[in-house]
Every structure is written in C-alpha cells, then in structure tokens.
Amino acid sequence: MFKIFEYKNEKGTSTVEFALILPLLLLILLGIIQFGSAYNAYLTITHASREGVRLAAVGRYSPDEVIARAPSLDAGRVDVAASPNGGVAPYGEPVSVTVSYPVEINIPFLPGSPFRFNLSSNATMRSEVSGF
C-alpha cells in the first residue's frame, strides 16, 4: 500500500555493492591465509623443539636432526640452540632446545606490510644419559 522507497531502475546496484565490499573481503581472506601460514610455522618449530629435546635427553642431539624435523620450513632460516653444553647434560639435569624461525606476513595494500617477527619455541626435558 505504502512504498517508502521505490526506484524505477535498480539494475546494477548489487554489482556496485559487491565491487565496494570485494577489496575488504579479499584483504580478510589474504590475512587469514598469511596468519594460517605463520601458525603452521609455529606448530612446526614446536614439534622440532620437542623432538630435539627428546634426542638431547638420550644423548643423540644434533642440530641437523632438529632441522630435519621441520621439513616444511626453509632449513637455512631455522635457528637451533641447545643448553647446557650443546645439548649434553649429566644424568637427571635438565636439557633444553630452542628453535627460532623468522616469519613475514605480507598483506597487499595494507600499510606497514610486511610484518616481520621471530617465532620461537623452547622445550626442556631431564637428561637420561649416564656415564658422566
């Protein structure tokens, strides 16, 4: 009965609305993909540090073995450190392995992009090596 807004020609309005919202949707989608990639790298270095400390706890620590436990990352950028004494500790003493990896989140058209930061994961376990 009452029509408050009535337009004679509404052709193309949905296309214009879609064109206005599309850049925002793509920005959100690219952000989700980039943060998912960073989270995958974090899970990978966490796994590598846990495996590395297990190796160190039984006296078989090697930085190359720890890096091999992170196959989806660029091996040249993975940094591995063990303490004390390069991953060798007396029986019952704690040994720890730290794995670090630089991550870059690059979202196009976003000011300040790319965002660069280091991910790091540390794991500690009691040494099971005897004979010191």
pTM for the model stands at 0.80
96: phi then psi, degrees, rounded to nearest 5: -135, 150
- Model confidence pLDDT, tens digit, residues 13-53: 888 889 999 999 998 998 899 999 999 999 999 999 999 99
Say how far apart CA 38 and CA 33 lie, in whole Å: 9
CA nearest to 102, candidates 67, 72, 77:
77
| 30 contact partners, CB below 8 Å, separation of at least 6 | 107, 108
- Model confidence pLDDT, tens digit, residues 77-92: 999 999 987 888 889 8
**According to the model, what pLDDT value does residue 13 have?**
83
